[in-house]
Structure 1
């Protein structure tokens, strides 16, 4: 048997169409890292609930990603899966559910993400109990942190270890915390923990300024890019569409158009995994070349788009990059 069974299988069978695009993107990713450049991965959708952590945690541990941009949902849902996995419920026939059956799931405290239901009591409320104390302590000490930094504090404290229900090596947030991986979490307010934080602010129990903002995330990212991009730029590996990708990719045009830093390099590799079809006005469905006109990519930037389900494609690309 091959020492690299997944890589060998991919190279033998993935020869055309989307499978060939997957191979090209994976080879481009490897070449990018081998040339000494850094890579950003953006996570949209429900990749944490889709248990991408099994492969993404390995990417983090093996220094195959240097910064992550993700939605607030992906930030928290990896930790929810870590502490409440046995309480999740899979619904294979989710396409056949009636509105009444959907309401029954809500009444049972089960919030559905495609074929998987997240248990409200064991997941959301379990995190809420402990994260609130960390928020409150920071405020009492006059401290302010980013959303992901609060999550790192939560994991580092060890208070959740009593609840662990999966192998900790399969949690990408634990791997990121251990590496103190840089992160940006744009639009965190629309996540469950963001909603909960806002509710405490409405009740007067927390101050909104205790949580660092999206603008502060952008200024952090600008500083990071200037320090880490060198003369050749950083790579951009985008899973899905939405704010997780839109937010960080804009830092390059901001730096040279708005801050007039004319020597800032473009993003130097771009891959998007998406099943969004190219259509009128669809940002997620735009082909990579459109990003050239916005000053994000250059004409000769390696560009790849794999139009498929990210829960299939991303683990395969990661396995290839890891040499599995």
Structure 2
């Protein structure tokens, strides 16, 4: 495949240091997919609010991603951007804000993520009124689902289409829903929708068991990995640190150490994009070699770390893999 201008630019100019690591990681990703391997992408931080969907959605549509792990925030914030984009407020001078400036944003029902403020009414509450009906319906029937399955039900209901404010092709959640790819969401309670669901449980309107929790999520991932890790295996592309990376990578040592499924293959590719300083005792700053001692990677696993801003690096890697 002839590469487009973005790919040609990075391969010509990005020759050293983190720039070279970016190119190496992109070539490794492409090689893994080309030989029939599958890929998990993990989303930490606020990548949905950073509108990673513009490039990630196309990766999903082009079958360059087979499973996603993300925080509860990333699961919901892509949909929030889909239905409330025009109501977001950008504050490029956020570094100059005083505590009073921040308080004023709160009073205006705007919640800041770096230079972007998410509108409470048009984003959080708009989702809340529709997802509650889906939670309640499942709760009354005694049905139980994983967090992403509820979000897929919401998208497939068509209830949100009246609010769409961006081109739907730029929503990674819509793309994932159309492909019906699984989304692992560890610690879903640590999200706006998770907090809202908790409030309904405290008020006695919903049962906590209606949304499946962490152990069932790990069981689901175990079943998926066992069914999909044959042949060229599954790669692991980690954006940011935190639970979205920590939780799923552990499925491999759990399977062959604790379940004693000794034939379980390790992850077949690994890349982490993180601006976390490489350090001792910081999991998000741990280099890939450390994962070998935990039984997650092999000594010869193609492994890369790009110590840079994921909002810059990830779209460039995706562009290379897509041939742009």
> Is TM more than 0.5 here?
yes
Shift of 1:183: 1.2
1:170 matched to which residue of 2? Answer: 170
- Partner SS state of residue 299, structure 2: coil
Residue pairs, 1:50-65, within 5 angstroms: 50-65=50-65
Residue 94 (structure 1) aligned with residue 89 (structure 2): no
Structure 2: tracts of 5 or more residues without a match: none
Residue pairs, 1:208-287, within 5 angstroms: 208-287=208-287
Whole-angstrom distance in 2 between the partners of 1:14 and 1:228: 34
**CA root-mean-square deviation:** 0.8
Shift of 1:3: 6.1
How big is each residue's C-alpha offset from its partner over 1:215-251, in whole Å with a ceiling of 9 and x where there is no partner?
1110011011111000543100000000000000000
Alignment TM-score, normalising by the size of structure 2:
0.99
| Residue-pair matches, total | 323
Structure 1: tracts of 5 or more residues without a match: none
Q: Is the 8 A contact 2:37 2:231 kept in 1?
A: no
How big is each residue's C-alpha offset from its partner over 1:135-154, in whole Å with a ceiling of 9 and x where there is no partner?
00111111111110000000
1:192 matched to which residue of 2? Answer: 192
- Partner SS state of residue 111, structure 2: strand
Residue 117 (structure 1) aligned with residue 117 (structure 2): yes
Alignment TM-score, normalising by the size of structure 1:
0.99
Q: Is the 8 A contact 1:41 1:237 kept in 2?
A: yes
How big is each residue's C-alpha offset from its partner over 1:40-70, in whole Å with a ceiling of 9 and x where there is no partner?
0000000000000000000000000000000
Whole-angstrom distance in 2 between the partners of 1:264 and 1:296: 11
Q: Is the 8 A contact 1:232 1:266 kept in 2?
A: no
4+ residue stretches of structure 1 with deviation over 2 A? none
Whole-angstrom distance in 2 between the partners of 1:248 and 1:164: 32
1:293 matched to which residue of 2? Answer: 293
Whole-angstrom distance in 2 between the partners of 1:318 and 1:10: 12
1:76 matched to which residue of 2? Answer: 76
